[in-house]
């Protein structure tokens, strides 16, 4: 008797050559999925997928999501779509708002149309906790929405589009509002942004860390692989129409990060429009999906330090270059603190 092997389920990962998206690819391949990656390589890198070179269950399409046709064969027979593609740099959104709205909102609409046409079982949208603005902590999913800058607005409107497609077209959707993801393969080029990318290059050069304010601000850092596990659980869950906050539920100070990294410091002005603390209330995702973080902050930082040479090509920031990069930010948002 011949037993025919069932074909693997198909998952599409937009932005799959990017930071979190590439960790999503890891988790899906380990779960025996056929994975199709779509990425325009503006923020992502093919090298993020090199550990899977030659894997017949992985395919890559260099494509801007805004060019996708609703009948795209990339989505044919797909069970799940994980939508990470978009512009993730926060500070430049002040200078280029139309580009952010085009990519993060209209690009999302193109992905939604592809998913709807293909009849996928679930689309999981990568939302951002920045939609909450200066939030009360711990922050629940019911917290009022108050985007402080165009990036935050664009990600929230992308989420709204996803749920609109659910209501109007019966497309099963869940959304995960990511707090502060970190880990190996995070951005090493591009605009001034996430603290790890800035600090790691400074450490490699023996330069002092540029600390915003006094470093007492805390961020709810969650390791990228833990993020990817949550997305798979959200796809496989029978529940849809859900919004989940995703962090470690255990915010860490920038000062503690500096202690783990080791090095000197120099303080630069605190940026307006940014919270002193981000802290996800993760009780809903724990209760409904059975997810909890597995990688401690100390372990995660250690994994990054083991691969610190990956950040040798990252920009080297100093107080002067940061001041230049954030002038538009201060001009646009400083008035929020005086009104």
Active site residues: 151
Beta bridge pairs of residue 157 = none
Distance CA 175, CA 8 (A): 25
Distance CA 308, CA 311 (A): 6
Longest CA pairwise span in the chain (Å): 78
Cα dihedral angle (152, 160, 43, 53), rounded to 10 degrees?
140
- Residue 308 neighbours by CB under 8 Å, 6+ apart: 200, 203, 204
């Amino acid at each position: 008797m011949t037993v025919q092997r069932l074909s693997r389920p198909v998952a599409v990962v937009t932005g799959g050559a990017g930071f979190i998206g590439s960790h999503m690819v890891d988790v899906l391949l380990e779960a025996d999925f056929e994975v199709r990656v779509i990425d325009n390589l503006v923020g992502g890198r093919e090298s993020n997928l090199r550990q899977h070179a030659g894997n017949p269950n992985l395919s890559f399409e260099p494509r801007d999501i805004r060019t996708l046709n609703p009948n795209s064969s990339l989505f044919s027979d797909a069970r799940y779509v994980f939508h990470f593609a978009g512009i993730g740099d926060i500070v430049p959104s002040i200078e280029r708002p139309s580009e952010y709205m085009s990519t993060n909102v209209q690009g999302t609409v193109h992905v939604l149309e592809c998913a709807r046409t293909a009849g996928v079982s679930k689309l999981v949208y990568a939302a951002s906790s920045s939609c909450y603005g200066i939030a009360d902590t711990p922050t629940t999913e019911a917290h009022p929405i108050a985007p402080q800058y165009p990036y935050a607005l664009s990600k929230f409107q992308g989420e709204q589009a996803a749920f609109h497609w659910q209501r109007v077209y019966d497309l099963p959707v869940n959304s995960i509002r990511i707090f502060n993801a970190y880990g190996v393969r995070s951005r090493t080029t591009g605009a001034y942004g996430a603290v790890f990318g800035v600090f790691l290059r400074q450490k490699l050069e023996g330069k002092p860390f540029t600390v915003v304010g006094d470093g007492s601000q805390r961020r709810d850092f969650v390791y990228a692989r833990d993020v990817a596990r949550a997305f798979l659980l959200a796809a496989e869950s029978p529940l849809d129409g859900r919004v989940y906050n995703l962090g470690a539920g255990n915010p860490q100070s920038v000062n503690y990060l500096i202690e783990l990294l080791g090095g000197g410091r120099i303080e630069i002005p605190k940026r307006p429009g940014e919270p002193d603390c981000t802290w996800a209330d993760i009780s809903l995702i724990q209760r409904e999906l059975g997810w909890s973080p597995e990688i401690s902050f100390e372990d995660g930082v250690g994994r990054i330090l083991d691969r610190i040479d990956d950040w040798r090509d990252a920009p080297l920031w100093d107080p002067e270059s940061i001041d230049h990069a954030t002038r538009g930010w201060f001009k646009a948002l400083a008035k929020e603190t005086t009104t």
